[in-house]
Structure 1
Amino acid sequence: MKIGVISDTHGDYKSWEKAWEFLKDTEVIFHAGDVLYHGPRNPIPEGYNPKELSTALNTCPIPLVIAQGNCDAFVDQMMLDIPIQTPYVFSVIYGKRFMVQHGHDISDEEINRLVQKYKLDFFIIGHTHIPLLKKIGDCVLINPGSTSLSKREDKINSIGIIDDEKVRIIDLETGKEILVLEIA
């Protein structure tokens, strides 16, 4: 199993190209929302080209599963051949239960409730632009950070990779693992 996890691309095609180098051999990619639009509170990313990004996503040979973010609107869906699902995505892959929700309107208590109710193995969120890996019982909570508008102090843009042994958050510039959680 090798699964890609991204969030908060915000229309940045150049950051998608960098992320693609790590995602091109995954079996599925979960996107936790804020796909094309940079949002009124965010600066315009250096590689902002939502039209080019939508073309790249539409032609992506790997299945993409997208949850709606707070910056995703009806017009964004018009550009994508892939459904933007809302407010939650639930999926079972290789017997593992995944839930994806952007994270802008969910409390820790609600995440814990959903983890228990759905017996989740992985809960994926975004929104904060800050990567996070932590265990909630047997479930791994993953925030891959942002591919384009990091809010980390060091401004590292990042993605996540899940495989059979661990979950990794990867720096898009260097390829270094910035967070790792063993799951095997």
Structure 2
Amino acid sequence: MKIGVIGDTHRNYKYIDKAIQYLKECELILHTGDNFQDSNYIHKVTGIDTVGIKGNCDFENVEDEIVFDVKGYRIFLCHGHKYDIKYSLKTIKRKALESNVDIVIFGHSHIPVNYKEDDILFLNPGSVALPRGNSSRQFIIMNIDSKVDIQNIIL
């Protein structure tokens, strides 16, 4: 299954539209928050099921984190601000262990992460709108079958 992972888009439609050219090939799109309305826009333009959560810049009455299963993998999707991810992955790792997940997907820092520890894959797609930490405008295409393959797409 091909999954697009994008977040911290902050209503920058110029770069969201560039990302959509790649996301159109996906079967599912995950949005890590900031701005939640962008997940609705992506769904409207692509017609692809899009799951978005609330970030620290969002005020909609929607979930700020969810756990779900895809192809035998348990995924935790959140924005990350409630887990202090700008400073350490320690708190979000504890949540991952408590939730018995295989993959943690988060945003907030605008810095891409692809890190595996204790059989948990931690992913941050970075930001197509406002990249930080010397990173480029980017997002992730994740292929899940018998294994997980991650491709960072740089705009």
- Same fold by TM (over 0.5)? yes
State the match for 2:55 in structure 1: 69
Match of 1:161 among 114, 117, 141: 141
1:58 aligns with 2:35: no
Q: Report the identity percentage.
A: 34
Structure 1 length as normaliser, TM-score? 0.73
Structure 2 length as normaliser, TM-score? 0.85
1:112 aligns with 2:90: no
**How many aligned positions are there?**
148
Give secondary structure in 1 for the equivalent of 2:130.
Answer: coil
Give secondary structure in 2 for the equivalent of 1:105.
Answer: helix
Map 1:125-144 onto structure 2 (within 5 A). 125-144=106-125
Q: CA deviation at 1:68?
A: 0.7
Which of 1 and 2 has greater Rg?
1
Q: Aligned partners of 1:166, 1:71: CA distance in 2, in Å?
A: 30
Q: How has the CA–CA distance of structure 1 residues 36 and 14 changed in structure 2, closer, same or farther, with 3 Å as cutoff?
A: farther
Are 1:12 and 1:36, in contact at CA under 8 Å, matched by a contact in 2? no
Q: Aligned partners of 2:26, 2:3: CA distance in 1, in Å?
A: 5
Q: Any stretches of 5+ residues in structure 1 without a counterpart?
A: 38-49, 78-83, 173-184
Q: Aligned partners of 1:9, 1:35: CA distance in 2, in Å?
A: 6
Q: Any stretches of 5+ residues in structure 2 without a counterpart?
A: none
Structure 1 stretches of 4+ with a deviation exceeding 2 A read: 53-60, 107-110
Amino acid at match of 1:156: S
Q: How has the CA–CA distance of structure 1 residues 61 and 54 changed in structure 2, closer, same or farther, with 3 Å as cutoff?
A: closer
User: CA RMSD for the aligned pairs?
Assistant: 2.1
Q: Deviations over 1:119-158 (max 9, x none)?
A: 21210110111111100211110010001111132x5100
